[in-house]
Amino acid sequence: MCSFLVVVDGSVQSSLALDRAIEIASALPASEIVLLNVQPELPRWQSVRPDGARIAQISRRVLHQAEQRARSAGITTRAMIAVGDRAETIQRVAKSEGCDHIFVSQGRIGRATRVLMKLTGLSADSDAGRLISQSDVPVTVFSERLENSSR
């Protein structure tokens, strides 16, 4: 049995990641998809604001929609929300759930940041980059560039 961790956040890229995971899981009998929505830990002063409840509601809706898509394809699915640093949380959940592969979307990198990275030769310390370098299992990253590759 293969277990795939798909990080969903409502973005087009996370939807593409889910599509790919469903495609692979459909080809492998007895596979499952673990859906994860990661929320940053709110500072104590902010955790009592109504925004926290709204964010949790959005997370549940994003997970529910992803869960419906996977189940309609006949894939066993579990869904969870976790709070914390995105890269660390994804790694922790992948390990604790025994996942064999991680599918994740890369956050948007602004044009100014991209230019500075080219000029300086530095790379952004993105969550996806940290996952790739630190994960014990394969990581597939879906970025904005894949979606707009026809440019």
**The model's pTM:** 0.80
- Structure token pair of residue 79: 């869904």
What is the Cα–Cα distance from 118 to 92, expressed in whole angstroms?
Answer: 32
Q: pLDDT tens for residues 50-60?
A: 566 787 888 99
Segments of the chain with pLDDT less than 70: 42-52, 107-125, 144-151
The two three-digit tokens of residue 38, written as one number: 């990661």
3 bridge partner residues: 32
Instruction: Assign 44 to helix, strand or coil.
Output: coil
Predicted local confidence at residue 37, as pLDDT: 96
CA neighbor of 21 nearest in space, from 10, 11, 35, 9: 35
Which is nearest to 38 in space by CA: 75, 81, 73, 93?
A: 81
